[in-house]
Structure 1
Amino acid sequence: MTRRGRLLAGVLVVGLAAAGIGVAQTEQEPQDAQPVPQPQPQQPVSADPVADILIRQQEEQDAARRATEALNRAPPGALIQSQPRPAEQAEAEQADEAEEEEAEETEIAEADTEEVPETLEEPEEPPARERRPVAIIQALDKTTAETMRFEVQVGGPPVRFRNTLIFTARACEVNAEDDPQEEAAAYLEIRSQPRGTNQPTQARQVFRGWMFASAPAVNPLEHPNYDAWVVGCRA
């Protein structure tokens, strides 16, 4: 073999050796297989909404049936809790309301009894007035502006003023001496009967009642030409 042939053979052997080494290294370092997570398959979307509702109802019924079966398999009394019956609860509420009403009535009755005094004071009687036999009257003639004070005896003969008014006294009283307020009142009857005319007229009553000296305007004489009021009473 020539020298050139030997060189080519040596190059070929070296190339094969290098290629064999590369293949050997690749096969000697394998990697462990790792599981790859698979995507969850999506539930198909139903094109019919009514079918979806029926499916959900069937699932709920299945869940309720499974829960009922689990309760049936439980021992007796394990899941039973004491609950008041409706009738007993209503009776208890009525009894509570009756007790509250009775307590309120008792409080009101006690409050009323506390406010009532043990003894009631009797009102004081007004002091008795003293009667006098003579009434003193003062009259006014509105036309002439003349006044006159005169006396009328209680139960006595009537007294005429200005030939027209006739005064009759039925009572005359004054307050008691221990009463600080002085007051005189006379019960009078006043009639109107003009005198001196050719044809006598019948007397017409123009006033009847009590007149008070301290308040002449309380029960006054109403006459177009005359006025009269009580001044006092005399013994």
Structure 2
Amino acid sequence: MSPRPLLRRSPGRLPLRAAALALTAGLAGGLAAAQPQSQSQPPAALPQVVAPKAAEAPPPGPAPAPVPAIAPDSAKETPVQAAPPPPKPPAPPARRTRYDVAVLEALDKVTAESLRFEAPVGRPIRYRTLVFTVKACERTAPDEPVDDSVAYLTIDSQPRALPGKPALSPRQVFKGWMYASSPGLHPLEHPVYDAWLITCRATVPVNPPPTPPAAAPAAAPAVAKPEPAAKPAPTPPPPAPKPLPEVVATPTPASPPTP
């Protein structure tokens, strides 16, 4: 191995190197001097953030006075409410007053003759070839809206029996109720005669309002006496059939029924 050749230093480069070394030493000294000074100074304090204060609660007021406990009174009992009374039953409807006589009026359409007559209840009355039999006659009750007379009757057509010949059987031409205020509501339909109800009449009504019975006087004690033996009564003969009462028509002005 051959030795390296020695380099010759030129005299012009030495001052440059010395200047560079001096500059490097100066920089290192400056850094060493500055480092202790910076470590001795304390770090700057960070700004503190102040939290807002909470609102202060108002001071507590005075405590309420305790309510004294009331002891239950065992002597007093709670009143029990009575049950409401049951509703009253409705009053019964008023009864119609019945009478024993009906006032009728008949009209002959051929001769224009009319006759007003009375027909007792249950008794047949003849007017020419008609026989009237009134079954009931009554007036409306006070609580009804219309004051009216109504009659239930039957009317039979039966000509008179000729002498020596048997009587013909009757033929019913009307059966039902007649109304004095409305003669055309249920009229008699006959080609020759017409009839309608006028009113109901009686001196004493058949079913008057009840009256309290009077106190009967005290009867004296009866003395028992022996009674004689009763004799059997003779059997009466059967009654003969009575002819129907005849209503004699008298000429009067015609009065047709009001509609």
Give the TM-score normalised by the residue count of structure 1.
0.44
* Structure with the higher fraction of residues in helix conformation: 1
Higher Cα Rg, which structure? 2
Give the TM-score normalised by the residue count of structure 2.
0.40
User: Which fold has the larger relative contact order, with Cα–Cα distance below 8 Å and residues 6 or more apart in sequence?
Assistant: 2
